[in-house]
Amino acid sequence: MVMEISTSDMKRVQLFEVIGRVDSTNAAELGSAMDKSVDDGKTNLVLDLGGVEYMSSAGLREMVRVLKRVKRTGGDLRIANPSERVREVLELAGLDSIFEIYPTQVEAVGSF
């Protein structure tokens, strides 16, 4: 297993829990999992990165692409529980000011 995504359909939110490593070989898979929800009209998304031990810019690119897409329809993509390292990378790319980032999944889901 390199990356695993589990999707939960919650009342107001689609929750994506990602485990493993997100890089250029599988970032598109993560993007299309989120796209599928948006296609179904579900645009309030929470991406729980608690299990992500590593993420390259390919993963960030997908996150930004999906964020742009859901913002157009009044939705949002919010991030929960990034590791110290992933958080640092988000900050380096200036994404901490573009994404709402929550320390826990509960808070991210509850923020909608």
Partner 1 sequence: MSEVSRLAIPARLEEVRHACDFVVEAAEQAGLDERAVYHCQMAVDEALTNIIEHGFAYHDDGSEIEIACQAEPDRFVVTIADTSPAFNPLLHEAPDPSEPLDSREPGGWGIYFIRKLMDDVSYERANDRNLLTLVKRIAARRSAAPGSAGDARFPARALDATAAVISPSGRLDSSTSLSLEQALEAQLASGRTWLYVDMTAVEYIASSGLKVLVAAWRRARERGGDVVLSGLQPRLVEIFEMVGFDLLFQVFPDLDSALAARPARR
Contacting partner 1 (CB under 8 A), which of 5, 89, 101, 108?
89
CB atoms < 10 A from the CB of 85, how many? 12
Q: Is 32 in the site for partner 1 (CB under 8 A)?
A: no
Binding of residue 111 to partner 1 (CB under 8 A):
no
For residue 92, state whether it binds partner 1 (rule: CB under 8 A).
yes
State the Cα–Cα distance between residues 104 and 65, nearest whole angstrom. Answer: 23
The answer to whether residue 65 forms part of the interface with partner 1 (CB under 8 A) is: yes
As a whole number of angstroms, the distance between CA 3 and CA 30 comes to 9
Two structure tokens written together for 93: 């790319």
Check residue 58 for interaction with partner 1 (CB under 8 A). Answer: yes
What's the distance, CA 96 to chain centroid?
13
Smallest separation (angstroms) from partner 1 to the CB of 3: 11
Pick from 56, 69, 100, 111 the residue near partner 1 by CB under 8 A: 56
